[in-house]
Structure 1
Amino acid sequence: MSNRKWLLGLIALVVIFGYILSQFFFSTLKINDLVRQISPNKAEEASLKYVVLISQEQDNPFWREMEKGAKDEAGKQGIKLVYMGPIRSNPTEQIRLLEKSIALRPDAIMIQGMADPGYERLINQAVAQGIPVITVDADEPSSKRLAYIGTDNRAAGRQMGELVLKDHAGNGKIGVIIGSELADSQRLRLEGFRSVITSATGMEIVDVRSSNISHIGAAKQTRDMLSQYRDIRTIVGFSSLDAGGILEGVKAIGQEGVRIYGFDDLEITRQGIARGEIMASIVQQPQEIGAKSMALLSSFFQGDKLTGEYFIPTYVLDQAQLQGGGISP
C-alpha cells in the first residue's frame, strides 16, 4: 500500500512539473514570437510605428474583437500592431510579456490594468524609458499611463443594477458571478451594481463567486451557489463567458424561474436571450475600444496630448433589440 501511495505521489509530481514546464514553454514561444515580430521588422522599416497589445487571454472573444478594431485602425494609420496574451488568463504571464515588451522598446504598449504594485511599477518604468502606455478594459489610474480607453465599469455595473430592478419580479435574492477577483474592471462593476441594489427595498445580494473567466467555472459556481441558496431568483454575470455558464449551471441543477443577466455579445448569450432563457446582457464595444485606442495613439505620435479617460458606451442587448426594436439606452 505504501509503495502504491509513493507511486501515486510521484505521478502527481510529474504531472504538476509537466504542467509548469508546458506553461513556461508556451510563454517562451510567445515571447520569442514577440521578438520576431518587432526586432527584425523595425530595423527594416524604421519609419513604421510598432504598438504591442497585451490581452488578458489570447483567444477570449472580447480581446479578439478588440484586436480586430485595433488592427483595422492601425492599417489606416500606418501602424504595425503586435497582439499577444496568455493562452488562459494568467496575471504572471501578462507581467512577463509586459517586461519583455519594454525591453524590446516598441513605440507604445496597450495593456489591461491590474491590481498589482509590481505591474504599476513596470508601467512607470516603460513611461520613464519613453514608451507611452495606455490601459484598456481596466484602468491603472495611479500609474503614469497615458490614458484609459474602455468601458466606464462602475457605470456599467449601475446600468446592470437598474436593469435588474426594472425587470424585478418575486423575491429579491441575487447571486453574482464575477470573472476574476483580481480584475479591477470586475470590482468596479460589482461596486456599481451594489450601489443600486443596496438602495432598493427588498433586494439583497446573497453570494458573489468567481468563474475565473471560464464558461465551465461559471457553470460550477452557479450549481454550488444554487445548492446553497435555493431561494435565489436572479443571477448576474459580469464577464463575457459567465451568462452561458450560468445558464448551463441553472439547467444542470434543474431550478426553474431563475432570471439570468450577462455581459457582452457572445453567440451563446444571444441564443439564450432569443429563447428567453437569458433576460438581457450589458454589451461593451471592444472593436470600438481597439479602434479608438489606435486612433488616439496615432494622434499622440503626431504631437497631440492625451489625458485621462475615454469612455466607450455600453448598451443593453435584449429580445426587443434582437427582434429589431433598436438599442436600449
Structure 2
Amino acid sequence: MLLLLSISLCFTGVFTGKVLYYDHLLAERKPAQKPLLHLVLISEELDNPYWREIEKGAQRAAAEEGIALEYLGPVQADKREQIRIIDKAIASKVDGILTQGLNDKEFNPIIAEAVKQGIPVITIDSDAPSSGRIAYVGTDNYVAGYLAGTTLVQQSKGVGQVGIVTGSFTSTNQQQRVKGFMDAIDGESGIHVVQIEESNINRIQSEVIAFKIMNQHPEIDTFLGTSSLDGLGIAQMLKGKNQQARIIAFDDLPETLEFIEEGIIDASIVQQPYMMGRKSVELMVDYLAGKKIVTIFNTDANVVRKEEISRGKGDFGP
C-alpha cells in the first residue's frame, strides 16, 4: 500500500512540475506571439526502450514545430496508471494527447471525456478505433504478426513446435500480432502452437516464462516473442541455459540486433517507433490548425535477419 502511494505521489509531482514548466514557457513568450501548444505523450511504460524511441521522434517533431511536449507514463506497464495519467492530462487542459490505445472498458470513457473537454487524442502503437480518437499512428499489427508467421514457415519449411510469449493477453496490438501469426501458419499441418503465456511486457518475466514453457514442453523448437522485451527475455533464457530453439522476435533494440548477430535470435519483425512518434505530433499539429488529416497512418514493418545486418540493409538500432 505504501509503495502504491509512493508511486502515485511520484507521478503527481512529475506531472505538476512539468505543467509548471510549461506555464513558465508561456510567461516568457511575448503577448504578440502565437500561444504555445502543449501536447502530452503518454507511454505504455516510461523507460521501455521502444517507447523511448517513440519519444525521440515525437520530441524531434515538437522541436521543429516549436511546441511543448511532455513525456509521461507508468513506471511499469499498468493500464490503471496509464488511464490515471490521461485523466490528469485532461484536468491540466492540454491541447492534445498522444497515447497507446487500450482494449479496456475504462479507456473509451476517459477518451470520451477528453473529447468532451475539446482535447483531441491520437493513439500510437495500438489502436482503439471505437474510443473517439481522431487518428491512429503505428504498425498494422495483424500484418506484422502475419509476417512473423510467414517467416517461420519459410525458415522451418513448414515444421515446428511453437511456444509464444506475448506481452499482454488484453492489449490490442499483442492480440492482433498473435492472430496474424496464427492465421499465417493455419494451413501448415506440421506447425503447432503448443503453449501461449503472458509476460506483462517485462523482460525478466519473459525469461522466466520461456524457461517454464521449455521445461513443460521440451519438444518446443521455436519461440515467438510478440513485444520488444519478450524476444530479449527468451534469448537470454536460451543463452543462459545453453539450450537451442528458433526465436522470432519484434523490434530492433540494440540487444536484439546483437542476439541476431550471435545467431540466438533468428529473425525480428522491425517496426518504426521513431516515425510513429514524429508522425503523431505532425498529425496533431495539423488537426489543431484545422487541417484534414488521415485517420489511420500505418508505419512500415519488415523482417531483419543476420544477413540483412551483415549487408547493412534497413534501419537498425536507434
What TM-score range do you get, normalising by the shorter chain?
Answer: over 0.9
The aligned counterpart of 1:8 is: none
The aligned counterpart of 1:279 is: 266
The aligned counterpart of 1:61 is: 49
Identify which of 11, 15, 25 aligns with 1:31.
15
Q: Which runs of 5+ in 1 are unaligned?
A: 1-16
Larger CA deviation: 297-306 vs 114-123:
297-306
Pair 1:144-2:132 in alignment:
yes
Letter in 1 for 2:254: E
TM norm structure 1: 0.90
In the TM superposition, what is the alpha-carbon distance from 1:154 to its structure 2 partner? 0.6
Pair 1:95-2:79 in alignment:
no
In the TM superposition, what is the alpha-carbon distance from 1:267 to its structure 2 partner? 1.3
Confirm or deny: 8 A CA contact 1:173 1:233 kept in the other structure: yes
The aligned counterpart of 1:215 is: 203
Pair 1:264-2:235 in alignment:
no
The aligned counterpart of 2:178 is: 190
In the TM superposition, what is the alpha-carbon distance from 1:304 to its structure 2 partner? 1.0
Change (3 A) 1:70 1:166: same
Superposition pairs for residues 6-17 of structure 1, below 5 Å? 17=1
Identify which of 103, 107, 111 aligns with 1:123.
111
Change (3 A) 1:202 1:170: closer
In the TM superposition, what is the alpha-carbon distance from 1:313 to its structure 2 partner? 0.7
Partners of 2:39 and 2:15 lie apart in 1 by: 15
Confirm or deny: 8 A CA contact 1:39 1:104 kept in the other structure: no
Q: Which runs of 5+ in 2 are unaligned?
A: none
Superposition pairs for residues 158-169 of structure 1, below 5 Å? 158-168=146-156
Partners of 1:80 and 1:35 lie apart in 2 by: 10
In the TM superposition, what is the alpha-carbon distance from 1:69 to its structure 2 partner? 0.5
Identify which of 310, 314, 319 aligns with 2:306.
319
Confirm or deny: 8 A CA contact 1:110 1:133 kept in the other structure: yes
Task: Let me know the Cα RMSD of the aligned residues.
Answer: 1.7
The aligned counterpart of 2:284 is: 297
Partners of 1:190 and 1:54 lie apart in 2 by: 25
Partners of 2:158 and 2:115 lie apart in 1 by: 52
Pair 1:178-2:166 in alignment:
yes
Q: Which has the larger radius of gyration?
A: 1
Partner deviation per Cα, 1:114-171 (whole Å, 9 max, x = no partner): 1112211111111121111100011111111000001100110001001111101584
Partners of 2:158 and 2:302 lie apart in 1 by: 26
Letter in 2 for 1:53: L
Partners of 1:138 and 1:42 lie apart in 2 by: 32
Confirm or deny: 8 A CA contact 1:109 1:131 kept in the other structure: yes
How many residue pairs were aligned? Answer: 311
Letter in 2 for 1:179: G
Partner deviation per Cα, 1:296-327 (whole Å, 9 max, x = no partner): 12221222122421100111111111111524
Letter in 1 for 2:114: A
Identify which of 235, 243, 248 aligns with 1:247.
235
Partners of 2:290 and 2:215 lie apart in 1 by: 58
Partners of 1:33 and 1:209 lie apart in 2 by: 39
Change (3 A) 1:103 1:38: farther
The aligned counterpart of 1:110 is: 98
Confirm or deny: 8 A CA contact 2:39 2:69 kept in the other structure: yes
Larger CA deviation: 227-236 vs 182-191:
182-191
Matched position secondary structure for 1:241: helix
Partners of 2:175 and 2:284 lie apart in 1 by: 27
Identify which of 205, 224, 244 aligns with 2:193.
205
Partners of 2:84 and 2:203 lie apart in 1 by: 26
Confirm or deny: 8 A CA contact 1:38 1:50 kept in the other structure: yes
Partners of 1:237 and 1:275 lie apart in 2 by: 18
Confirm or deny: 8 A CA contact 2:251 2:271 kept in the other structure: yes
Confirm or deny: 8 A CA contact 1:27 1:93 kept in the other structure: no
Letter in 2 for 1:270: L
Letter in 2 for 1:150: G
Partner deviation per Cα, 1:14-64 (whole Å, 9 max, x = no partner): xxx332232223222233234324444345546111110001111111111
In the TM superposition, what is the alpha-carbon distance from 1:172 to its structure 2 partner? 1.7
The aligned counterpart of 1:13 is: none
In the TM superposition, what is the alpha-carbon distance from 1:174 to its structure 2 partner? 0.4
Partners of 1:166 and 1:223 lie apart in 2 by: 26
